[in-house]
Structure 1
Amino acid sequence: MKKVLVTGANGQLGSEIKELAVHYSKFDFIFTDIADFPLDKEAEIVANFNQIQPDIVINCAAYTAVDKAEQDQETANAINHLAIKTLAQLCKETNAKLIHISTDYVFDGTSAIAYKEEDIPNPKSVYGVTKLAGEIACQRECPDGIIIRTAWVYSEFGNNFVKTMLRLMTERETLSVVNDQVGSPTYAADLAQVILTILDNEKWEPGTYHYSNHGEISWFDFANDIKEIANKSCEIIGIPASNYPTPAERPAYSLLNKAKIKAVYDIDPVDYKISLKKMMARL
């Protein structure tokens, strides 16, 4: 039975993998999080990896506090870049397979069409810069690895846009939401299923892939969909991102082209609204 090490197991994606893992009995899943597998300490990564001796690593762990990363560059770099370098080296040395999760924030958002895997990244934030550095380290140290870039992740677990909107819609009569940043949300349960589908597949095709749900919307549109499904009466006002300054710059357009993952693994992204309804029903 193959041992699968999942890092970041208490995050949104890790929690969803945990839910689905029960259906994949041919794998022995070892779920770890920051307490038992800290990624900001190289010596502990090596010691824990050697103790577990995994056949496959799914790295869901990341420093995802995008604005906080602007001030906390050292920690963001340790977790998003240096830890990946170490994990990739260990996977290469032991012939373990590696699936690493990255982000649409590696792009600058100046495109007018959905980003393909081979488009040149140009991150605008510390978070994006450190995630890109992690990708490069992963490719260099473990060329046989798979990188999956995703975007706008939400889930019934952890903190995210959907849960924040639901809370604010209950507390307030009006809400201002950015209407000039465009992308596609990703339900973490769908991404978890994609990862396990790849894991369960007979073929292993190294490289970078894009996955999010299907659709092209702004945060304002997303908020309105949440309002409609939850049947809330709160008024939502669309505002430009310039009216809502944040420490970290976000890409204005970060839609991901998913043709490659469909061609290689026959994975067809679910429409975002179907997934949103499913997640909100589970809440």
Structure 2
Amino acid sequence: MTGSQEQRKLKVAVTGANGQLGRELVMLETGGKFEMIGLDRTALDITDLEQCRRVFALLRPDAIIHCAAYTAVDQAEAEPDEAFRINAAGTRNVAVAAREIGAKLCAVSTDYVFDGTGTAPYKEYDRTNPQTVYGQSKLAGEQAVISLHDRYFIVRTSWVFGGYGNNFVKTMLKLASDRDQLTVVADQWGSPTYTRDLALFMLELIQTDFYGIYHASNSGICSWYEFAQAIMEESGSRTRIEPCTTAEFPRPAPRPHYSVMDHSAIRSNSLTPLQPWRDALKHYLLNTGTKK
């Protein structure tokens, strides 16, 4: 940070402020270090370049964390133009407007930029090969940021859960409340990511000038089946989890079989690693009153 930034709060604008991650960022207790400005869809339409320019020029944030996105993975297969309009063109607009006012840009991306056929954790500069419209649109957004901004962070994450919005943990707990048994896919592997831990990491990141691509997820690896088992165990639910294969649970958009990401950029820049995913799950359940 510059000397002037050290003497005042860092002003951070958050797009997609009503989403799962955006709301976490806006609601996070930061000890007064940041002035968080949440921009939901009504306050900022990212698909409107001139509106992006006007809003950011008025606010003059030091950094923009870009969480707004089209995230309906299956629906994107049926409406690719809409996915690209938001994830590619919208991200382009945010990048252009951010650079024009000299704001750092932290753009959230996804493990879906990879094809999911790997057997070792994906590094930040491994070859991308998205297999879904969603993944292709998010990669296009990444490319827009890289080509249009000079002070950017791209943060790819995976299997996100937290206190706001819908996610796998909430779905499992809801289903378990009235079922004795649930069947969950056991041949897809990844790393869950707690929105609180991801938000804290991004706030640490934007205070640096270590620009580039980052992989950020809670540490450790599990299958969806193992994640579901842990949710039941940690919440005290007696619902049994049975494994199934991806082939037994087909979806319009193919899911990556392996989407574990290596955190080499976090390590090489001596940034704070995210805690193990099971510890993050425990924290989430305790703080939402779900743990028995």
- Please classify the TM superposition score into its range, dividing by the shorter chain length: over 0.9
Which residue of 1 is the match for residue 242 of structure 2? 237
Post-superposition offset of 1:41: 2.8
Larger mean Cα displacement after TM superposition, 158-167 or 254-263: 254-263
**Could you tell me which of 263, 270, 283 is aligned with 1:278?**
283
Which residue of 2 is the match for residue 121 of structure 1? 128
Counterpart contact for 1:178–1:244, Cα < 8 Å: yes
Q: Distance in 1 between matches of 2:153 and 2:266?
A: 11
**Could you tell me which of 148, 154, 172 is aligned with 1:141?**
148
**Could you tell me which of 15, 21, 30 is aligned with 1:7?**
15
The 5-angstrom pairing of residues 155-234 of structure 1 reads: 155-200=162-207, 203-234=208-239
Larger mean Cα displacement after TM superposition, 181-190 or 72-81: 72-81
Alignment partner of 1:250 is 2:255? yes
The 5-angstrom pairing of residues 79-90 of structure 1 reads: 79-90=86-97
Larger mean Cα displacement after TM superposition, 261-270 or 109-118: 261-270
Contiguous gaps of at least 5 residues in structure 2: 1-7
Q: Distance in 1 between matches of 2:164 and 2:265?
A: 29
Number of residue equivalences: 280
Q: Distance in 2 between matches of 1:69 and 1:265?
A: 37
Which residue of 2 is the match for residue 106 of structure 1? 113
Counterpart contact for 1:7–1:60, Cα < 8 Å: yes
Q: Distance in 2 between matches of 1:11 and 1:102?
A: 14
Which residue identity is paired with 1:260?
A: A
Which residue of 2 is the match for residue 18 of structure 1? 26
Post-superposition offset of 1:45: 2.2
Deviations 1:60-96 (A, max 9, x none): 1111111111112222111111111111112222221
Post-superposition offset of 1:42: 2.8
Which residue identity is paired with 1:7?
A: T
Pick closer, same or farther for the CA change 1:26–1:224 going to 2, 3 Å.
Answer: closer
Counterpart contact for 1:7–1:37, Cα < 8 Å: yes
Post-superposition offset of 1:26: 4.1
**Could you tell me which of 37, 42, 46 is aligned with 1:35?**
42
Pick closer, same or farther for the CA change 1:69–1:111 going to 2, 3 Å.
Answer: same
Contiguous gaps of at least 5 residues in structure 1: none
Q: What is the Cα-based RMSD across aligned positions, in Å?
A: 1.4
DSSP-derived class of the 2:127 partner: coil
Counterpart contact for 1:181–1:218, Cα < 8 Å: yes
Counterpart contact for 1:39–1:78, Cα < 8 Å: no
DSSP-derived class of the 1:67 partner: helix
Counterpart contact for 2:130–2:136, Cα < 8 Å: yes
